[in-house]
Amino acid sequence: MKKNFLILVFSIIILSIIFFVFEKFTYTNNEVKAKVIYVNNEDVIQAGLNKIGSQSLRVELLSGENKNKKVKVINHLYGKLEFDNYYKINDIIIVGLNFKDSDFKDSIAIDLYRQKQEFILFSLFIVILLLYAKIIGLKAIFSFAMSLLVIWKILIPGLLNNMNPLILTSFVIIFLTGIIVFCVAGFSKKGFSAFLGTIFGLFTSIFVTLYFGEKMRLFGMTAPFAQALLHNGYLHLNMKYIFYSAVILGASGAAMDIAMDVSASMEEIKLKKPSITTSELIESGFNIGKSVIGTMTTTLLLAYSGGYLTLIMLFMSKESSLARILNMKIVCAEIVRIVVGSIGLVLVAPFSAFFAGFILCNEFKIQKYFNKLNFLNVFNFRTKN
């Protein structure tokens, strides 16, 4: 009962922090939340599903220094449904204010305010995770938050500053794998086995990516907004290596999952049968890995095909030939992403089985050192086996 109460308290604290961050640190000085109180659609021309022209809005500002002030806002419509928003009265939107010499000049509508729904969705995820996994769920939330922080504050700025994408991404994957695996499994033999299995499996697949990416002449320009990024003043970026890095980073989460499944199962075998030999344990790990990757290899296929479902529907509606589909640059890029990622997943299983068999059946001085670290027990990390 006490543990459930603590989890509830942690949930409230985490959600409060997230809500505070969402509301206080997501806007610049010139971007504010506003409510639409008047709409004029006289300059809007509708052509089929598309709307072209501009909406003249009057809004009441809901945040910022000019809160409660009513201003005129223009919403430009370009006939692109993936970017355009068509506003109605009482809609909550994000408005960009333009000032000249500290005086208000004009404003434009940026987008519909969706943060509230995002917060509710994320809160639902946290509550379900904590109710089911409890302390492990709390560790998972910590690793989730750290992953977002590392990607946003280290990986993205590093790529924009023209650091070598493959080297930077490799260090980020090592760091994230360490945080996620050791946070959940603790500084244990199981954790080290999963860590080494993930790293060796993913790094081996980097060479596969480099080889086939060069052979297929994939230069990274099939990624969404790649061209817009280059034209925005970043012509120096190596989009080819950024694409290769994205392939490996995208597969890293599933790779950790496989490594942990194999290592945890082998640890249970060792605990139930302490007399098992290293070779027998590795063989059992290989058998476990075969069952895990049987379903996991389709994970990336379903994930990426779901993202390009409309493209696949377009191919079918046009009755495009299979040869034409398979040789399109964007399709080849996704095939490389799916297959190379799957190769990485398949390699992670035997690597994890090998390392787990060797580590679980032997004693190491470093394990005794971790057992002496009292702070690990505060966070309920397992430091045995």
Does residue 311 share a domain with residue 198? yes
Q: What is the mean pLDDT of residues 246-261?
A: 88
Within-domain flag for 41? yes
Q: What is the mean pLDDT of residues 52-60?
A: 92
Does residue 84 share a domain with residue 145? no
C-alpha closest to that of 359 among 256, 270, 292: 270
Q: Bigger pLDDT: 26 or 62? A: 62
Per the structure, the complete domain to which residue 6 belongs is given by 2-116
For 134, residues 6+ apart whose C-beta sits below 8 A from its C-beta are 3, 4, 7
Does residue 360 share a domain with residue 228? yes
Within-domain flag for 121? no
C-alpha closest to that of 350 among 294, 300, 282: 282
CATH number at residue 106: 2.40.50.140
CA 252 – CA 198 distance, rounded (Å): 8
Radius of gyration of the chain (CA): 26
Does residue 220 share a domain with residue 142? yes
**How many domains in the chain?**
2
For residue 349, give the H/E element and its range: helix 329-360
Does residue 82 share a domain with residue 152? no
Q: Which of 66-80, 125-139, 355-369 has the lowest mean pLDDT?
A: 355-369
pLDDT recorded at residue 355: 92
Average model confidence (pLDDT) for the chain? Answer: 83
pLDDT recorded at residue 16: 64
Does residue 259 share a domain with residue 188? yes
CA 336 – CA 329 distance, rounded (Å): 11
Does residue 111 share a domain with residue 138? no
Within-domain flag for 78? yes
When pLDDT is cut at 50, 70 and 90, the band that residue 268 belongs to is very high
Does residue 347 share a domain with residue 218? yes
Q: Which residue type is seen at 266? A: M
Within-domain flag for 139? yes
Does the pLDDT value for residue 380 go beyond 50?
Answer: no
Within-domain flag for 385? no
pLDDT recorded at residue 4: 60
pLDDT recorded at residue 235: 87
SS3 160: helix
Does residue 336 share a domain with residue 238? yes
Q: Bigger pLDDT: 7 or 260? A: 260
End-to-end Cα spacing for the chain = 29
Domain endpoint, select from 73, 89, 116: 116
When pLDDT is cut at 50, 70 and 90, the band that residue 376 belongs to is very low
Does the pLDDT value for residue 311 go beyond 50?
Answer: yes
Domain endpoint, select from 116, 146, 163: 116
Domain endpoint, select from 89, 116, 143: 116
Does residue 290 share a domain with residue 188? yes
CA 342 – CA 339 distance, rounded (Å): 5
Does residue 269 share a domain with residue 215? yes
- Percent of the chain exceeding pLDDT 90 equals 27
Q: What is the mean pLDDT of residues 333-347?
A: 87
- Percent of the chain exceeding pLDDT 70 equals 85
Beta strands 44-47; 50-61: pairing state: antiparallel
Within-domain flag for 294? yes
Within-domain flag for 149? yes
Does residue 154 share a domain with residue 10? no
Q: What is the mean pLDDT of residues 166-187?
A: 89
Largest separation between any pair of C-alpha atoms in the chain: 82
Q: Quick: pLDDT tens for 204-234.
A: 888 898 999 888 888 888 888 888 888 888 8
Within-domain flag for 61? yes
Does the pLDDT value for residue 242 go beyond 70?
Answer: yes
Q: What is the mean pLDDT of residues 337-354?
A: 89
Q: Which residue type is seen at 50? A: N
When pLDDT is cut at 50, 70 and 90, the band that residue 2 belongs to is low
